[in-house]
Structure 1
Amino acid sequence: MQITFLGTSSGVPTRSRNVSAVALRLPQRAEVWLFDCGEGTQHQFLRSDFKTSQIRRIFVTHMHGDHIFGLPGLLASCGLAGNQQQPIDLYGPPQLKDYLQACRRYSQTHSSYPIRVHTTEPGKVYEDDDYIVSCERLKHRIPAHGYRVVEKDRTGHFDVKRAAALGIPPGPVYGQLKRGEVVTLPDGRKIHGADLCGPPIIGRKLVYCTDTVFCENAIKLADQADVLIHEATFAHQDADLAYQRLHSTSTMAAQVALAAQVKQLIMTHFSPRYAPGNPLQLDDLLAEAKAIFPNTLMARDFLTCDVAPAAA
């Protein structure tokens, strides 16, 4: 699991920061999952080493423009490029489907591949053999959800030498034992796969929370996460603005990370008011957060981070 920030500004883009979009790369299955898709996201793809043909899922937090205006163009380009063979699944508020249908109708855009839109409700959003994605309602001016991606635990390392020493012949039976199954050998012996495997490999947990003011659901969603991506639109001294607009300060993001006992906090969605040359700058927001939660990073466009495996 690897995350790349494609947009880290709030509201409007700046010269150095585009609006909200985060890509989650799943190398083992050659897929990219996208969280939010602000205007210009497809241009950010062109400046990265991602391929739009690898996009399989797009998770939208809410219907504000800086989180969705890039969707129509990105989806249209995927079709026009002619290399999009697989369907793309989108997850978001009920209005998402109407918005996309209106964009396609009035622009006379037709997709050459299936686009499936799923309405999100608190709870499980998606599950397959390897991952579970869930969401919780956050606290913003319009309905907004944060997302939690959990990699399922995997069987520990299979001890091939021990299996050979037990006289277990290589072949399909090794696959069964690796999955922890009980196998009966030709000589009648029953071998428990779990006895030949090391401790389970604990799945990684990634959480994406924006837009929101400090709320208990963000803590619930982020519980024990390996990486928490949380908005930090305002500095602590602008907390009044944060409460008025239902956004977070740097200290609120850090408080969520501390309460949820996450491993790492990465802040994003910064107001342009803290650009270089202003009395308060983004380094000040980082210092505020680190005073509460030391393992904090400040996202920038094209920052790439691995979601580190959890300790066994």
Structure 2
Amino acid sequence: MLKLTFLGTSSGVPTIRRNVTALALHTTMNRDWWLVDCGEATQHQLLRIPLTVHDLAGICVTHIHGDHSYGLPGLLASASMNGRKKPLILIAPAPVKAWLDATMLHTELFLTFEIIHIDVASEQSVYQQDGLTIERFPLSHRAPSFGFKFSFEKTTWKVDSEALRARGVPPGPAWGQLQHGKDVHMDDGTVLAAARYRSQHTERATAVIGGDNDTPSLLAKACQHADVLVHEATYTEAVLQKVGPGPQHSSVQRTASFAADAQIPNLVLTHFSARYDSLEGMAEVAAEARRHYSGTLFLAQDFNTYELSNGALAKLPPAPRAK
């Protein structure tokens, strides 16, 4: 039901293999998709996946730092030049909107669509519409930072195929009528009641996306009943101890330990320091994570897509490039 596509997984600066932070969330409910953070060159990353700016419903920005926001003006400008007309929702701290407004003013950026800004500090539930609820949770970082909880819900009607076949009704128009709630009058004079041959099915998926945060436990409430947590793991614990508390980032150990304590079934680590940008470095990250967390674990890479279905998270093969 829910797919997560990583467009940037590096912290601070890009590397040869990784761009700075950006994550796309898309579902089977419709063509709309959401972007969490928009680091520099996110629009370039989008050229390599099947999502387009025309279907982008909104952007959530966790905090003001450039590796999470510098891509905004370029992405919006390209969307405008490509003819986007429908409004775009921007859920972000007020300083992000102020900086964006100043950039647009001084670079003469005129958009063909409206930006609907929602101040992330306004209230916990920042968006609710069409089966999607987005909530925000304050985190701990050297700039005000927030995590986002995406709760998706899709309700569909399905016909009881076994009962219909047993009744002697093969797949066809009658099934479609029943699925849409219409009783079917049979040739023998009997009536198939839609209430008897169809039932309601609800799919739910909940993802918690953390911004920069040195205290993963601040997401404890958000992670209740969550299917997956995406959280930064900038350093291993040993390196974090050397770096000190100044940057206010989390370690692999602290994130993995929190996920284990919170009994989160699926964990995706991201936002890795450039010092781990090698096979050996990522092996070190994986080993530390596995010492503290036994659930389904992934270390995100740029352009990885993960699909959440019935509570299970799986990595998908690479998608074809958008035309």
- Give the structure-1-normalised TM-score: 0.86
1:66 alignment partner in structure 2: 67
**Match for residue 246 of structure 1?**
248
8 Å CA contact 1:234, 1:242 repeated in 2: no
Letter in 2 for 1:262: I
% identical aligned pairs: 33
CA distance in 2, matches of 1:41, 1:48: 11
- Structure 1 unaligned segments of length 5 or more: list them: 178-182
Q: 1:258 aligns with which of 260, 275, 283?
A: 260
Q: Which residue of 1 aligns with 2:180?
A: 175
For the pair 1:98 / 2:98, whether they are aligned, the reply is: yes
Q: For the structure 1 residues 288 and 103, does the alpha-carbon distance in structure 2 shift closer, same or farther, using more than 3 Å as the test? A: same
Measure the CA separation in 1 of the matches of 2:58 and 2:275: 32
Partner of 1:4: helix, strand, or coil? Answer: strand
Displaced runs of 4 or more, over 4 A = 160-165, 169-174, 191-196
State the one-letter code of the partner of 2:113: Y
**What is the rounded CA distance, in whole Å, between the counterparts of 2:259 and 2:73 in structure 1?**
33
Tell me the alpha carbon deviations over residues 57-77 of structure 1, each in whole angstroms, 9 at most, x when there is no partner: 101100011000000010011
Letter in 2 for 1:201: T
Give secondary structure in 2 for the equivalent of 1:154: strand
Q: Does 1:269 align with 2:292?
A: no
Q: Is the 8 A contact 1:162 1:196 kept in 2?
A: no
Q: Does structure 1 residue 118 correspond to structure 2 residue 118?
A: yes
Q: How does 1:8-27 map to 2 (within 5 A)?
A: 8-27=9-28
Letter in 1 for 2:246: Q
Q: CA deviation at 1:47?
A: 2.3
- What residue is the counterpart of 1:224 in the other structure? 225
1:126/1:163 Cα in 2 relative to 1: closer, same or farther (>3 Å)? farther
The CA deviation string for residues 17-60 of structure 1, in whole angstroms up to 9 with x for no partner, is 10000011234411221000000100111122221211111011
Is contact 1:202–1:310 with CA below 8 Å preserved after alignment?
Answer: no
What displacement does 1:216 show? 2.7
Query: Distance between the aligned counterparts of 2:196 and 2:203, measured in 1?
Result: 15
**What SS does the corresponding residue of 2:77 show, helix, strand or coil?**
helix
Whole-angstrom CA distance in 2 between matches of 1:68 and 1:99 = 10
Query: Are the equivalent residues in 1 in contact too, given 2:159–2:197 (CA < 8 A)?
Result: no
Alpha-carbon distance change, 175 to 10 in structure 1, aligned in 2, over 3 angstroms: same
> How big is the alpha-carbon RMSD for the aligned residues of Structure 1 and Structure 2?
2.9
CA distance 1:293–1:242, shift in 2 (3 Å)? farther
**2:214/2:250 contact within 8 Å kept:** yes
Residues 257 and 192 (structure 1 numbering): CA distance in 2 closer, same or farther, change over 3 Å? farther
Q: How does 1:1-312 map to 2 (within 5 A)?
A: 1-82=2-83, 84-121=84-121, 122-152=123-153, 154=155, 157-159=158-160, 162=163, 174-176=179-181, 193=195, 196-197=198-199, 200-240=201-241, 241=243, 243-276=245-278, 281-294=281-294, 295-310=296-311
Question: What SS does the corresponding residue of 2:147 show, helix, strand or coil?
Answer: strand
Distance apart, 1:157 and its partner CA: 3.8
**Contact 1:213–1:242 (CA under 8 A) maintained in structure 2:** no
Counterparts of 2:126 and 2:195, CA distance in 1: 32
Question: Greater CA deviation, 44-53 or 7-16?
Answer: 44-53
SS in 2 for 1:222: coil
Q: In the alignment, is the contact (CA less than 8 A) between 1:3 and 1:25 conserved in 2?
A: yes
> Quick one: distance in 1 between partners of 2:199 and 2:291?
42
- Further displaced range: 147-156 or 56-65: 147-156
- For residues 50 and 100 of structure 1, do their structure 2 counterparts lie closer, same or farther at Cα, with a shift above 3 Å needed? same
Number of residue equivalences:
300
Structure 1 letter corresponding to 2:97: K
Query: Which amino acid in structure 2 is aligned with residue 106 of structure 1?
Result: H
SS of residue in 1 equivalent to 2:204:
coil
Partner residue of 2:318?
Answer: none
- Alpha-carbon distance in 1 for matches of 2:240, 2:93: 28
Q: Give, in angstroms, the shift of residue 120 of structure 1.
A: 1.3
Are the counterparts in 2 of residues 212 and 231 from structure 1 also a CA contact under 8 Å? yes
Deviation per CA, 1:169-192: give whole Å up to 9, x if none. Answer: 877674358xxxxx9x9xxx9x89
Q: CA deviation at 1:162?
A: 4.3
Deviation at 1:238, TM superposition (A): 1.9
How far off its partner does 1:154 sit?
A: 2.9
